[in-house]
Amino acid sequence: MKALVTGAAGFIGSTLTDRLLSEGHAVTGYDNFSTGRPEFLADARQSTRFQLCQGDLLDPPQLAAAMSGADIVFHLAANADVRRGPEHPRKDLEQNTIATANVLEAMRQCGVHRIVFPSTGSVYGEPGIFPTPEDAPFPVQTSLYGASKLAAEGLVAAYCEAFNLQGWIFRFVSILGERYTHGHVVDFCRQLAQHSGTLRVLGNGRQRKSYLYVQDCIDAILAAIERAPGKVNVFNLGTDEYCTVDESIGWITARLGVSPAREYAGGERGWVGDSPFIFLDCSRIRSLGWRPALRIRDAVERTVAYLQENPWVMDRE
């Protein structure tokens, strides 16, 4: 197949791009390099089946040009900065909601019928059911990021209905692994590289979170587009476990061989819109035969190992 991958220079986008190329597909990578890293595309650029288009999703003509001839769109580009949402509310609206509307319009224009859309467990807000299933009670949004992804999910579904597209929506827990650039593991590793004796922790350390290894995430996406034939297919993506922030810190510091004093900012939530407990019911995607290969602890440790070997990733916030 010929795929358009938006956010192709990002953490998950570049990993997906490499996987698609390794399976013999053709990929057009679309990225504005606002947060994407050219280094992540070094392998992809070796392939004659890869084409890079430096462009912005808020530029519809350029987007349509890149999309022409694609069979499927993997719309990975997003503003993934949940924590700083309130500092720039327009960013989530533009880069997540409006960008997705533009992708869908370009698909309609170019006659592309299949879209993979990564959403987030944050759309559940602060759910009352754990593990949280896809048909959990209608949630109330607690973060601008979650709201922008919910909006984009709705657009994907409505376009599928109105224009006969087929969509796969994945509600991710936090993804970890090689090329990870954003989130608590990189925050902690960056801090500990600067001062190994102290670690500032947002919240009280007892927030319970779920994580998934990036290759497991991509396995799940590829399994779903092959095996889930519905018009709008919604899947939670995570492991069958969770850990506390404190446990995660224990694994990170052990792997780095440091014993910092932990300074907690306090409070049940690390920031406005932080969900104190994220644990998704993933039986739907498991029913397709998918299983994650790595447990959370393994995923955290691989991420730390990657950051140790690639400290340049931590140069940029």
* Nearest one of 71, 40, 23 to 222, comparing CA atoms: 23
Contacting residue, 153, 178, 219, 301, with a second copy by CB under 8 A = 153
> What are the DSSP calls for 157-192, one per residue?
HHHHHHH--EEEEEEE-EEESTT--SSHHHHHHHHH
Contacting residue, 25, 49, 55, 105, with a second copy by CB under 8 A = 105
Exposure of 51 by Cβ count < 10 A (0-12 exposed, 13-18 middle, 19+ buried)?
Answer: middle
Counting contacts by CB under 8 A, is residue 104 touching a second copy?
yes
Query: C-alpha distances in angstroms, 122 versus 61, 109, 157?
Result: 31, 31, 18
Counting contacts by CB under 8 A, is residue 113 touching a second copy?
no
Contacting residue, 35, 95, 142, 253, with a second copy by CB under 8 A = 142
Counting contacts by CB under 8 A, is residue 162 touching a second copy?
yes
Counting contacts by CB under 8 A, is residue 64 touching a second copy?
no
**What CA–CA distance (Å, rounded) separates 235 from 220?**
9
Contact window for a second copy (CB under 8 A) among 141-149, 173-181, 207-215, 240-248: 141-149
Counting contacts by CB under 8 A, is residue 93 touching a second copy?
yes
- Active site (annotated) includes residue 159: no
Q: How many CB atoms lie within 10 A of CB 135?
A: 10
Secondary structure element (H or E) that encloses residue 214, with its range: helix 214-227
CB of 232 to a second copy, least distance (A): 5
The count of residues interacting with a second copy (CB under 8 A) is 42
Contact window for a second copy (CB under 8 A) among 100-108, 176-184, 238-246, 300-308: 100-108
CB of 60 to a second copy, least distance (A): 10
Contact 231, 169 (CB under 8 A): no
* Nearest one of 152, 157, 120, 123 to 140, comparing CA atoms: 123
Pairing of strands 208-209, 243-244: antiparallel
Contacting residue, 53, 65, 158, 223, with a second copy by CB under 8 A = 158
Length of the chain: 317
**What CA–CA distance (Å, rounded) separates 78 from 148?**
10
Contact window for a second copy (CB under 8 A) among 30-38, 86-94, 113-121, 238-246: 86-94
Contacting residue, 55, 139, 203, 250, with a second copy by CB under 8 A = 139
CB of 90 to a second copy, least distance (A): 7
CB of 72 to a second copy, least distance (A): 20
* Nearest one of 118, 269, 114, 300 to 207, comparing CA atoms: 269
CB of 307 to a second copy, least distance (A): 30
Residues that bind a second copy (CB under 8 A): 85-86, 89-90, 93, 97-98, 101, 104-105, 108, 124-125, 134-144, 146-148, 150-151, 153-155, 157-159, 161-163, 232, 234, 272-273
State the catalytic residues: 145
